[in-house]
Amino acid sequence: MILLLACIFNNDGSIKHGEAESGSLDSAEENNGNGGSLRPDDSEVVQESIEESDPPAMEVCYPGEREDWSTCLPVIPYNSSWGSDYNYPAPYQGSSQYLAPVRFLDIDAQDPDLLLAPNFALSEFLSSAKGRYGVLQGPFIARMQQLRDEVAAPVYVTSGYRSPGYNAGIGGAEYSRHMYGDGADIDVSGWTVEEVGVACEALDAGYVGLYEDGHTHCDWRDDALDPAFYDVANGPVPPTQTRAQLRLSDGLWTAPAEGFDEGEPFRRWRAFAADGSLLLTSTGRKFATPPGTVTLEVVVGGQIALRQTLP
């Protein structure tokens, strides 16, 4: 407890005695019943006590059902006792966007049905089966709700946050944004992976990946990190390392690829005639060009476009 003493002085610096100035205090009798004096020694001294309080607990806030950002949950500091499941890799190419989180949500302590946005519940992004402690950035949930509003159709989250240990166990990329709380694999009812990819790009997604099994990965790795989980400023993000090449074998074209961390990438093939007209479009890992093809094009994972002029 801290005691503050407030005294009234005369011009010569001595403590002033006597009655309190009008309006500065309630009557002396109401204060201490000492016949008009404030203290037994007749000094005009006011004592106040100020209780020292603990600093407020850290919280992460989400848009919530009413989109007023009043849905807030407590976050707890990282603890090394959580074990190797939370051993984050060193920052990718030194980027501060890939520093390990310093605070997490205790998933088991939360209501899985809590609406973080009008169309998204907590359990759609966080599951203790993928790590009891999780990261789910508030601005990312706002992006997901924007996406839901734009497509005007159900958005199914097939994978949200993953602890580093869980991510490694399923073969995820070393720097998957699933571990940083701003990415998800999604499927939109009635939409193709290409259409979902375009919708994410329109909302400034930092990376969009299209996958053969029908899901689209969208993340906002370029957005400023949520200070509820990170103590670092937003920094530049290194380019994603994905590669692909065209190959011809036994009359069939393939486009083997590397760097797609969510599975086999989706491929869109197109064959064009000499006058530029489209002869055929198809999807899949292999493609046979129709007669008259002069130019072959394939887009791999929505990221890499390859073109080949045929003899």
Of the pLDDT bands very low, low, confident and very high (cuts 50, 70, 90), residue 55 is low
Compute the average pLDDT of residues 207-229. Answer: 94
Residue 192 three-state SS? coil
C-beta atoms surrounding 104 within 10 Å: 25
Q: Which fold has domain 59-219?
A: Muramoyl-pentapeptide Carboxypeptidase; domain 2 (3.30.1380)
pLDDT computed for residue 27 by the predictor:
36
pLDDT > 70 in the chain, percent: 79
pLDDT > 90 in the chain, percent: 64
Residues with Cβ within 8 Å of 272's Cβ and at least 6 positions away in sequence, in order, are 278, 279, 293, 294, 295, 296, 297
- Asked if 145 and 119 count as a contact pair (C-beta separation under 8 A), the reply is yes
> Measured between alpha carbons, how far is 196 from 151 in angstroms, rounded to an integer?
8
pLDDT in tens, 63-98: 999 999 999 999 999 999 999 999 999 998 889 999
pLDDT in tens, 251-261: 999 999 887 76
Helix 193-202 vs helix 138-151: angle between axes, to the nearest 10 degrees?
120
pLDDT in tens, 106-164: 999 999 999 999 999 999 999 999 999 999 999 999 999 999 999 999 999 999 999 99
What is the residue extent of each domain of the chain?
1-53, 59-219, 243-309
pLDDT at 44 over 90: no
Of the pLDDT bands very low, low, confident and very high (cuts 50, 70, 90), residue 9 is very low
